[in-house]
Structure 1
């Protein structure tokens, strides 16, 4: 292509929706790609004679669809979501290279829309619900274990208190009076 600087003005954005598949066989990945492009002015005569004056529609639709399908197929559905920037960058790089062979310069390439098929969306939602239920079950189990520990500690304390009271009553003639004082103090506290 060289270092030509003889460009025309930018075109209006072109949006191309594509339904493609991911590496993990999610076949309903819906993506819309937006590009802003311009032809290299010095290549316009060649573009017009080889493709025609309405060169942008067939060329851009073809290469955008082809590149999107190739790039998305390298990722599984989860990666397409979590690594969207990487996917977008690879699409942009590959598309820019491909467009240059047709005498087009891409000034902006952006993934504007990304969704998945109903089955995949439902599976993701079901997984999230299952994770929330597992977390809830873990919380309930931990709460029950804490209540069990509290009951054991309380029982041990009551046992020790009973033992101390019995020892006090056996060693002191005034044990009953002391027991009443302890109970009154406990009620006050």
Structure 2
């Protein structure tokens, strides 16, 4: 009986050890990730391991995992423009590694490749592109600047085995002196526009006054001509029309008494 228990114990221990070895020989690559295998005798293998569960040799081999999904990163930079103005700019990029080049990336750069590549090489490219434009062009031609930055950085990132899915300039400001100069220029332009508007308004008012005076003179001339043609008949007609209007207004007023012509103001009271 003792030998039976001893045998069962050995078998259980063997199964336990085998289970542990089997578990250590398995590894899982999550969705959106890839892995490269480091072998103690052969170094980093060229094969890239896809998603799923895979085998390896315990102790001899070790998996290194990489996230191959697009990830954002904001990079603030202070640089100079073509006209030597200080530019504060924030660059936002979406990046991911090229899966087939993960062994080279791990061997030449390391797992923290984004911390090594972007602050140095990408920033150098950004500064070289911005140095081609002056401050005014950076404001008025922002789309062109963004496209030039994207093309340059995409080419630089490809040399490190990286893909830039999106490159955009999210923040762009200038130094205090330049900002004050731009504001002062805008104020002076607005004042000049206002002065020009006032001058144009005065000229238009002058032209309107001249046209109005010419119209009044022409109207007076036409009236004088018509009066000379018809004689005093038109004047008498206008007097009759005025007298008729006055009589009509007085007849409608309760506080006015109209007396026919030739009647006494005493209303012919008895003497």
TM-score range normalised by the length of the shorter chain: 0.7 to 0.9
The whole-number CA distance in structure 1 between the counterparts of 2:191 and 2:227 is 53
Name the one with the larger strand percent.
2
User: Relative contact order (alpha carbons < 8 A, sep ≥ 6): 1 or 2 greater?
Assistant: 1
Structure 2 counterpart of 1:148, from 203, 206, 214:
206
Name the one with the larger helix percent.
1
CA shift in 2, pair 1:175/1:110, >3 Å: same
Q: Assess if the C-alpha contact under 8 Å between 2:70 and 2:165 holds in 1.
A: no
Q: Assess if the C-alpha contact under 8 Å between 1:96 and 1:106 holds in 2.
A: yes
TM-superposed CA distance for 1:102, in Å, is 1.4
1:37-70 superposed Cα distances (whole Å, 9 cap, x missing partner)? 2222343333333333322112111122111111
Structure 2 counterpart of 1:131, from 173, 189, 200:
189
Q: TM-score, normalised by structure 2?
A: 0.56
Moved more, 164-173 or 60-69: 164-173
1:49 is matched with 107
2:82 is matched with 23
CA shift in 2, pair 1:99/1:161, >3 Å: closer
Q: TM-score, normalised by structure 1?
A: 0.76
The whole-number CA distance in structure 2 between the counterparts of 1:152 and 1:175 is 33
1:102-155 superposed Cα distances (whole Å, 9 cap, x missing partner)? 121222222121122222222222222222222221221111111111222233
Where structure 1 has 5 or more consecutive residues not aligned to the other structure, the ranges are 1-5, 185-189
Q: Equivalent residue of 1:13, what SS?
A: strand
CA shift in 2, pair 1:91/1:167, >3 Å: closer
Structure 2 counterpart of 1:177, from 224, 235, 239:
235
CA shift in 2, pair 1:101/1:172, >3 Å: closer
Larger Rg: 2
The whole-number CA distance in structure 2 between the counterparts of 1:173 and 1:85 is 80
